[in-house]
Amino acid sequence: MTNTLYDALIAPHAENNAPFLINDEGTALTYAGFVRRVAQLANVLKNMGVAPGDRIVVQAPKQTDTIALYGAAVQAGAVYLPLNTAYTQAELSYFLNDAAPRLVVCDSKDEAAVTRLCSDLGAKVLTLGADGTGSLPTAADTVPEQFDTVARGPDDLAALLYTSGTTGRSKGAMLSHKNLLSNARALTNLWDITRNDRLIHALPIFHTHGLFVAMNTSLLAGAQVRFMAAFDQDAILDELPNSTMLMGVPTFYTRLLGDPRLTKDRCAGMRLFVSGSAPLLAETHTAFTDRTGHRILERYGMTETNMITSNPYQGERIEGTVGYALPGTEVEITSPDTGQPVPVGDIGMIEVRGDNVFQGYWNMPEKTTEELRDSGFFITGDLGIKSADGRISIVGRQKDLIISGGYNIYPKEIEDVINDVAGVLESAVFGVPHPDFGESVQAAIIFENGVTLDGATIAQKIAPLLARFKQPRNYILLDALPRNSMGKVQKNILRQDHSP
């Protein structure tokens, strides 16, 4: 029986007694122990009625069992659907209705609310708490450590990851076994990841960066992973001398640079610092090199495509550029008007094709057609330049998107929620520079005639509907929104007038 991802990432470790996941308490789960736990969790999935192709929603704390559950979903032929733990019940309800999962694994503290949401959908609920206990681990403890792996081919779905949309509705990106494995292979080779590596893992595991870029490459290479429950600056600094790699968003690096304990000596054993998910400022890149002697390797990707480009491991890493197309991946810069390639050095839309590119959006064929060409090229919405030797620089975005601390926030989603508050006529949500998160969310509000609410009241009304990281940090009450002659809101003017 073959299963593309399981056979490459998990099966080879059945007899591997080297440490794999080392948690905050210092306990190490070996690779062989991981393989056994994956099988136990796959047995739980089967016992819960999960059939091949069924979706499993996971909104649970970062635990070794959470990552083993990803492996179990792969082994059982199911589709893993991780969700940001910050999402509110209102947001969760959308994903549950859209994805129609067979099983939802939630934090123990949310069990009652999630059970209520699931009652009409026929989805079962299991729990996994921040202390590692819950009905999921309890069920896994008593079932066999072997499981008959379900056959899955390269084009079968392995994961469904939601990414917010410019229309305000989140879209589920369908990722196949081939999409994930091809990218893991490309990155492992390019970054030279081996069993001698020890990765500091402080990212969340509900997004591509922490889940696929970090975990799939580690599994493929057999590397050790210092698996932190969350970003913890002290712990990262403590681990630097015993580790070889760190993967993070730019906020990780600006925070580390703000700490005098970040020194060349402390980083002497490190061989690779990777940054992605948001633009890394050239000044951060330079300051990091000056302080540590290491040049951060910046790469670029998307949920729909996995990683697209990377600065070289051997060779020059240039600040402000995201490097070359990964092996097996083609990048074209096209005219947003005609879709035809633009001359070298001109700005255009970044498009990408390869085994890394997803299969389309779940239940949204028209969105898929809009963004994924028949030729196989995916239209990223990012604007870039390709140099004569193929190096890509991102110069802007055609899509209206704010990236805060590596989390993507689509203004349309926030505007829709604010506009529903009684008394609000319209709103415009935009990002302004922020020293820690890169960008911070701001909302300009126009009220209906005769109505005035303060920012605190609006904040209170939208709080149950939007994850905290999406909520505006500032409300600007205006008489009118700046518009161009076509009537389009000029967010650049709002940004100019209201940046700190």
Site residues, ligand MCA (CB under 6 A): 203-204, 207-210, 230-231, 249, 251, 276-277, 301-303, 404-407, 437, 468-469
Is residue 279 part of the contact set for ligand AMP (CB under 6 A)?
A: yes
Burial zone of 448 (CB within 10 Å; 0-12 exposed, 13-18 middle, 19+ buried):
exposed
Closest separation between CB of residue 322 and ligand AMP, Å?
A: 5
Is residue 22 part of the contact set for ligand AMP (CB under 6 A)?
A: no
Is residue 360 part of the contact set for ligand AMP (CB under 6 A)?
A: no
Comparing CB distances to ligand AMP, the nearer of 149 and 309 is 309
Of 93, 115, 163, 334, the one binding ligand AMP (CB under 6 A) is 163
Is residue 243 part of the contact set for ligand AMP (CB under 6 A)?
A: no
Window 369-408: contact mask with ligand AMP (x via CB under 6 A) = -----------x-x-----------x--x-----x----x
Is residue 278 part of the contact set for ligand AMP (CB under 6 A)?
A: yes
Closest separation between CB of residue 97 and ligand MCA, Å?
A: 23
Closest separation between CB of residue 284 and ligand AMP, Å?
A: 12
Is residue 348 part of the contact set for ligand AMP (CB under 6 A)?
A: no
Structural Rg of the chain based on CA atoms: 23
476/427 Cα distance (integer angstroms): 10
Comparing CB distances to ligand AMP, the nearer of 13 and 207 is 207
Comparing CB distances to ligand AMP, the nearer of 225 and 394 is 394
Angle 111-119/89-99 helices, nearest 10 degrees? Answer: 40
Q: Binds 279, which of ligand AMP, ligand MCA, none (CB < 5 to 8 A, cut-off by type)?
A: ligand AMP
- At residue 189, φ and ψ (nearest 5 deg) are -65, -50
Window 456-485: contact mask with ligand AMP (x via CB under 6 A) = ------------------------------
Is residue 322 part of the contact set for ligand AMP (CB under 6 A)?
A: yes
Closest separation between CB of residue 482 and ligand MCA, Å?
A: 25
Tell me how crowded residue 252 is: count the other CB atoms within 10 A of its CB. 22
Which amino acid makes up residue 492? N
The pairing of strands 438-447 and 424-434 is: antiparallel
Handedness of CA 95, 100, 101, 103 (dihedral sign): positive
Closest separation between CB of residue 308 and ligand MCA, Å?
A: 8
Q: Binds 380, which of ligand MCA, ligand AMP, none (CB < 5 to 8 A, cut-off by type)?
A: ligand AMP
Comparing CB distances to ligand MCA, the nearer of 368 and 440 is 440
Would you give the distance in Å from CA 179 to the centre of its chain?
15
Closest separation between CB of residue 113 and ligand AMP, Å?
A: 26
Give the DSSP letter string of 421-467.
STTEEEEEEEEEEETTTEEEEEEEEEEPTT----HHHHHHHHTTTS-
Comparing CB distances to ligand MCA, the nearer of 315 and 468 is 468
Q: Is 384 helix (H, G, I), strand (E, B) or coil?
A: strand
- Give the E-state strand segments of 171-313 in sequence order: 171-176, 198-201, 224-227, 245-248, 272-275, 297-302, 306-310
Comparing CB distances to ligand AMP, the nearer of 129 and 204 is 204
Tell me how crowded residue 11 is: count the other CB atoms within 10 A of its CB. 15
Which amino acid makes up residue 440? S
For the chain, the distance separating the N- and C-terminal CA atoms, rounded to the nearest angstrom, is: 59
Q: In the numeric block, which tokens belong to residue 78?
A: 């199911």
181/478 Cα distance (integer angstroms): 50
- Are 77 and 156 in contact, with CB atoms under 8 Å apart? yes
Closest separation between CB of residue 406 and ligand AMP, Å?
A: 8
100/102 Cα distance (integer angstroms): 7
Q: Label each residue of 125-136 as H, E or C.
A: EEECCCCCCCHH
Contacts to ligand AMP from residues 298-317, by CB under 6 A: 298, 300-303
Q: Binds 181, which of ligand AMP, ligand MCA, none (CB < 5 to 8 A, cut-off by type)?
A: none
Closest separation between CB of residue 163 and ligand AMP, Å?
A: 4
Which amino acid makes up residue 412? K
- Are 219 and 12 in contact, with CB atoms under 8 Å apart? no
Q: Binds 463, which of ligand AMP, ligand MCA, none (CB < 5 to 8 A, cut-off by type)?
A: none
Comparing CB distances to ligand AMP, the nearer of 68 and 401 is 401
Q: Kindly indicate which of the ranges 38-46, 138-146, 296-304, 460-468 contains the residues binding ligand AMP, using the contact rule CB under 6 A.
A: 296-304
The pairing of strands 28-30 and 55-59 is: unpaired
